[in-house]
Amino acid sequence: MDQDALKRQAAETAYQHVREGEWLGVGTGSTVNHFIDVLAERQPSLQGCVSSSEATTERLKAAGFEVVELNTAGDLPLYVDGADEVNAHLELIKGGGGALTREKIIAGASRHFICMVDESKQVELLGRFPLPVEVIPMARSFVARQLVKMGGKPELRENFTTDNGNPVLDVHNLEILNPIEMEDRINAIPGVVTVGLFARRPADTLIVAAAGGVETRTR
């Protein structure tokens, strides 16, 4: 089975957690796009959606769903998103699509965070996927130098700014032995908007689609 079919299976499984009449937080990326396709087909009568990116907002609206600001919705019962890497503790690397900051805000505001991945995203140690760090433009070089001191190799994501208008540094070669400590250290560098490590707010439920079937794990 190809990766796209696995993503669709993970999305179908995540859909089973969607409740009519409630708010729904929706993440960003190719796996989430499958989830939005499922929403578009089933047309649940939601209270409304909160979106983590302009791209997701556009897709949700095209599928007929109302998208409101998080400020309007308040805390959410459910947030569904993908990830670039996940470990056994359901800690994640996110931000391959650059939506990390809004994703982390919505995850923080949600009671239940479901993460959907295909089996290729599972790792023992986080960090093989370059760790995205969104930075304030004037702090870009300063933050990069601090990341080098931490043993990383930051690369500016070319021709890219986030929905918040900021650049992203993709940090290679980091040994993330303690994800919570690493998240705190990087977030403490002045000029960092968000690091794409989700260790302080890991997923609550992980849906892994593999060739042998879909597995659901909870923390």
Ligand X SMILES: O=C[C@H](O)[C@H](O)[C@H](O)COP(=O)(O)O
Which stretches of the chain bind ligand X, using CB under 6 A?
27-31, 81-84, 94-100, 103
Question: Minimum distance between the CB of residue 146 and ligand X, rounded to whole angstroms?
Answer: 22
Cα(37)–Cα(181) distance, rounded to whole angstroms? Answer: 37
Residue 218 marked ligand-binding: no
Question: Minimum distance between the CB of residue 3 and ligand X, rounded to whole angstroms?
Answer: 9
Residue 48 marked ligand-binding: no
Q: Residues 51, 61, 22, 7: is their CA dihedral positive or negative?
A: negative
Question: Which of 80/143 has CB closer to ligand X?
Answer: 80
Note if 103 is an active site residue.
yes
Question: Which of 28/166 has CB closer to ligand X?
Answer: 28
Question: Which of 18/21 has CB closer to ligand X?
Answer: 18
Residue 37 marked ligand-binding: no
Q: Catalytic: which of 85, 91, 103, 134?
A: 103
- With both helix axes pointing from N to C terminus, report the angle between 3-15 and 30-42 in degrees, rounded to the nearest 10: 50
Question: Which of 141/161 has CB closer to ligand X?
Answer: 161
Question: Minimum distance between the CB of residue 148 and ligand X, rounded to whole angstroms?
Answer: 24
First to last CA, the chain: 28
Residue 31 marked ligand-binding: yes
Comparing every residue's Cβ against ligand X, the nearest one is 29
Residue 97 marked ligand-binding: yes
Question: How large is the C-alpha radius of gyration of the chain?
Answer: 17
Phi (first) and psi of residue 213, to 5 degrees: 135, 180
3-state SS, 87-154, equals: CCCCCEECCCCCCHHHHHHHHHCEEEEEEEEEHHHECCCCCCCCEEEEECHHHHHHHHHHHHHCCCEE
| Phi and psi based region of residue 166 (left: phi greater than 0; alpha: psi -120 to 50; beta: remaining) | beta
In the annotated binding site, the residues are 28-31, 81-84, 94-97, 121
Give the active site residues: 103
Per the annotation, binding residues for substrate are 28-31, 81-84, 94-97, 121
